[in-house]
Structure 1
Amino acid sequence: MEKRGNRVGPNQENRKPYYPRPKAPAAELKSEIVFGIQPVLEAIRAGKEIDKLLVQRELGNVEVLEFARLRGIPTQKVPGPKLDQITRKNHQGVIAFVSAINYAKLENVVAGIFDEGKTPLLLILDRVTDVRNFGAIARTAECAGVQAIVIPTKGAAQINSDAMKTSSGALNFIPVCRENDLVQTIRFLQESGIQVVGCTEKVSKTLYEADLTGPTAVIMGSEEDGISDTLLRIADELVSIPMTGRVSSLNVSVANGVMLFEAIRQRSLSV
């Protein structure tokens, strides 16, 4: 990625549009499965966005696995009965889950934000795998003006019809960037002049003490484990949401809303 002061990415004349998806009604974007060796191969060759590929263990190294590896498609080898639970049709040991959206390139999104003279507010989700939580998070993020959601290639919620429905159509309007390595992604954002702030209960400093008015990317972690230790170590700042009740944690989608709207509150006061 080319670094250009506070902007990164390819030359503007070669850059794809900042928002890569048309603003279509949620009903027009539905996830689907493709099964059978040849149909899945054709879907990959056609550039379909594949969320996940399931391959029967007994098949060995079929051609589709090599195509998936070259395209960076998350692949899992599973027993045949698991595939039979998904579809009773002749799947030939291969099922692909086609994403309901087209993923955006993070460098293009970041460059577009700076080119438009806006202050970045991005959201990074570390191992948030619940589909409905993801949809609710996307809905809140879009309402808060977040310019992109970043998810890992592995260990992320599948963006299917349930996610689309829970997001109330927000996933039609907010770019989602799928990255192979969140560590490299965070370093890229930091080199671009964007501070990375992790929300975790492991620190005493609260989000109300942090400065969220500048270019910021917020990391939210899984409900089970929170943000991974590796990402916690490289974040620029760690903050917590103060609790006064007997329950010690919030649902990740609720915590996400608290974080994002504190950033909005601070930014409205700084104008």
Structure 2
Amino acid sequence: MNCRLLTAAPLVRFSCRLVSRVIQTPCRTCSSSREDDIRNYIKESYVRIGKDAAPPPVIRGDVVYGTLPCMAAISGQKRRVHRVFVPSSLRSRDGRRELTYALQDILATVRNVHPTALHPLPEKYMYECLSQCGVHEYPDHEGIALELEPLHARPLISNRELLRIANRDTKTGAPPLVLACPFAQDMTNLGHLIRIAYYYGVHTVLVSSRFRQAQAINAIASSSSQGAVDLVDMVAVKGKLSISLEEWKRKFRIVGTVGMGYAGAVPLSEFKHDGRPVLLIMGSESKGIADPLVDICTDLVTIPACEVSNEATGSGVLESLNVSVAASILLHHITSSA
């Protein structure tokens, strides 16, 4: 099939990729030409930086790996990209790794925005780069990794910015939704929370500057969030979170999550969205929300468990969920009732 035949009509212009998706068959002429073009770009970069005998590069920033996190980091434009690593075997069709459409999209963007940043490497050197940033296993990097500036949650400058967050316009017309996760210490959990927040349209993720995720968001969090850390507005609140949130009560309905049997808490099914902006506070899996934060909440909700009898222990109720699972349930209910 030749793409020129498809673009001949003066009123409708089809892109090759759109046609491929509709008819489920790639346009061989254009896809092959584009792939060869990207491979030539990899070859030129390979010649420019030298051969495979060069030592592995020293990472001086952070590393993001995988097609979705890398594309999000580039499109989010939150931080500067220093180098783009791909397996040097991609310069040839005989390599063991496929040059996928996703990789072609990213490398085409890189060539337009950061043309000299491409740095082809032997596969083993790519894992060396990841290990320098704390990724000591052998994850599937999907053929690409970025060296870029570390990601920091930005500080909340003033209460005026708080008002801007509360009055932010959204594409759906729904009231602003903010997620506070000051107790998420594990980077994998933090990444999952941010991914869920992005999925449900959360506008801002609030973290405390007392915790390390406010200082730097590493490659593990980026990978587990599938790149959402570069797309969600992350704000670090100075000082104690309970004192900072007192100002939020004027504009937000502050919803705290607590365990079953907590005095004053209502089942999630009884929570009704009244159209005001919502700030949802997620507690830690072991201790929940600290008492100073509970005191400033306008609503306390709990996710009821299904009790199943256990002959060995006499009880089958688990008192808490994984924090990211709980966040999914809560955000789904809040957004669907808005």
Structure showing greater radius of gyration is 2
Partner of residue 258, structure 1: 329
The 3 A distance-change label for structure 1 pair 25 and 115 is: same
Of all paired residues, the percent bearing the same amino acid is 27
Q: Would you say the 8 A contact 2:72–2:231 is kept in 1?
A: no
How far apart are residue 222 of structure 1 and its match?
A: 1.1
Paired residue type of 1:185: S
Partner of residue 133, structure 1: 189
- Work out the CA distance in 1 between the residues paired with 2:294 and 2:321: 19
Partner of residue 65, structure 2: none
Partner of residue 241, structure 2: 182
Paired residue secondary structure (1:126): coil
Q: Would you say the 8 A contact 2:254–2:280 is kept in 1?
A: yes
- State whether structure 2 residue 273 is matched by structure 1 residue 212: yes
The 3 A distance-change label for structure 1 pair 131 and 115 is: closer
RMSD: 2.9
Partner of residue 151, structure 2: 100
Q: In the comparison of the two structures, how many residue pairs are matched? A: 181
How far apart are residue 155 of structure 1 and its match?
A: 2.6
The 3 A distance-change label for structure 1 pair 110 and 141 is: farther
Q: Would you say the 8 A contact 1:139–1:167 is kept in 2?
A: yes
2:201 aligned to which of 135, 145, 152: 145
Q: Which runs of 5+ in 2 are unaligned?
A: 1-68, 81-131, 135-148, 308-315
Partner of residue 222, structure 2: 164
Partner of residue 25, structure 1: 71
Partner of residue 319, structure 2: 248
Q: Which runs of 5+ in 1 are unaligned?
A: 1-22, 32-84, 88-97
Q: Which of the two has greater strand per residue?
A: 1
Q: Would you say the 8 A contact 1:30–1:161 is kept in 2?
A: no
Paired residue type of 2:228: A
Partner of residue 154, structure 1: 210
Which is further off, 112-121 or 128-137? 112-121
How far apart are residue 115 of structure 1 and its match?
A: 4.9
- State whether structure 2 residue 180 is matched by structure 1 residue 124: yes
- Work out the CA distance in 1 between the residues paired with 2:303 and 2:165: 31
How far apart are residue 152 of structure 1 and its match?
A: 0.4
Paired residue type of 1:184: I
Paired residue type of 2:156: K
How far apart are residue 118 of structure 1 and its match?
A: 5.1
Q: What TM-score, normalized to structure 2?
A: 0.48
Q: Would you say the 8 A contact 1:126–1:227 is kept in 2?
A: no
Partner of residue 15, structure 1: none
Partner of residue 41, structure 1: none
Q: Would you say the 8 A contact 1:99–1:159 is kept in 2?
A: yes
The 3 A distance-change label for structure 1 pair 147 and 187 is: same
The 3 A distance-change label for structure 1 pair 109 and 170 is: farther
User: 1:36-86, CA deviations, whole angstroms, 9 ceiling, x for partnerless residues?
Assistant: xxxxxxxxxxxxxxxxxxxxxxxxxxxxxxxxxxxxxxxxxxxxxxxxx99
Paired residue secondary structure (1:264): helix
Paired residue secondary structure (1:146): coil
User: Counterparts of 1:44-83 in structure 2 under 5 Å?
Assistant: none
Paired residue secondary structure (2:181): strand
